[in-house]
Amino acid sequence: MNQLDALKQFTTVVADTGDFHQMAAYQPQDATTNPSLILKAVQKPEYRPLLVETVARFRQNSLAEQMDRLLVRFGCEILAIIPGRVSTEVDARLSFDTAATVARAEQLIELYQAEGIHSDRVLIKVAATWEGIAAARQLEQHGIHTNLTLLFSFCQAVACGQARVQLISPFVGRIYDWYKKTAGPAWVEADRAGANDPGVMSVAQIYQYYKKFGIATEVMGASFRNLGQITALAGCDLLTISPELLAGLAASDAPLVRTLDAGAAQALDLASVRYDEAGFRLALNEDAMATEKLAEGIRAFCADAARLDQLLLAV
């Protein structure tokens, strides 16, 4: 049994790509997209027609609607391949606007429903800012399920659990990147690999806390840099993995054991935590890594959304 098949025994495997032609080979349950992945995909010749067709049909509509229709078009193509859910992201430029995020999410669901897709097969991705989490709380109350992304800290995870969001995506690789860059020459890769990887440690802490206190929100590790980070989180509810790393897992027959277990988490001595807005903002501010990576991630997604706007205008 290769490592990909072994991982599927413990964890729901999710494809992290907008390139749906690559998905079928790995038979993922779910799939995630984001503005950067869609931007990358539409610049490939095989996906150019989706961009052109979308603009041709909806050129008279707002640029925001054209973008959402393009995202939904990719989502529908992906859902024709996978049996589960697709995550589609609200424009990152709305990350600090609760009302606008709710409205845009509702629009995305309406577009999916117009294509015959039930809302249960869609997760709306929202940045895990305080405003994004507040929007997700409202959406969940209205039956629209959410995936809180750009999640780097324990306080973000706790607030998402309080909001009863469907799923969170803690970013393993970007946490790893920050600590490695900050350590500089003092970084010893072998000492910070596997269970000692700071990104892996962050996801494990969140997973154990959720399971200890019966929080139903699903934990989906994301943003991986190497296979070791993935195998160190075997047993996590879900892991979203790029096609390149999915191929690496499929090519390896090295042993893979479960490292995260909900039953074992029950025995841990953990304290329950709650955050109001002021406490959340202070806790996030105290975490330099999370503060920097959240801001950096939103800036990058905003830039790619703007580039996607330009591609739509250029058609």
The CATH architecture annotation of domain 3-314 reads: Alpha-Beta Barrel (3.20)
CB atoms within 10 A of CB 227: 17
107 neighbors 62 (Cβ within 8 angstroms): no
Q: Return the amino acid letter for 3.
A: Q
- pLDDT at position 34 is 87
Which among 46, 152, 34 has a CA at the least distance from the CA of 86? 34
End-to-end CA distance of the chain: 47
233 neighbors 221 (Cβ within 8 angstroms): yes
Which residues contact residue 30 at a Cβ distance below 8 angstroms, ignoring those fewer than 6 apart?
A: 12, 14, 15, 82, 84, 85, 86, 87, 238, 240
This prediction's pTM:
0.96
- Return the active site residues: 125
Q: Return the amino acid letter for 305.
A: A
- pLDDT at position 28 is 96
Which among 10, 36, 14 has a CA at the least distance from the CA of 23? 14
User: Residue ranges per domain, the chain?
Assistant: 3-314
> Is residue 147 within a helix (H) or strand (E), and if so which, with residue range?
strand 146-151
Rg (CA), the chain: 19
- pLDDT at position 22 is 87
- What tokens were used for 226? 């190497």
10-residue averages of pLDDT along the chain (315 residues): 97 94 92 90 93 96 96 96 97 98 98 98 98 98 98 98 98 98 98 97 98 98 98 98 96 97 96 98 98 98 96 94
Total residues found in the chain within this entry: 315
CB atoms within 10 A of CB 107: 16
CB atoms within 10 A of CB 176: 23
- pLDDT at position 153 is 98
**Could you tell me where the DSSP H helices lie in the chain?**
3-7, 35-42, 48-58, 63-79, 98-114, 130-141, 154-162, 172-183, 198-212, 227-231, 243-250, 262-266, 277-286, 288-314
- pLDDT at position 24 is 87
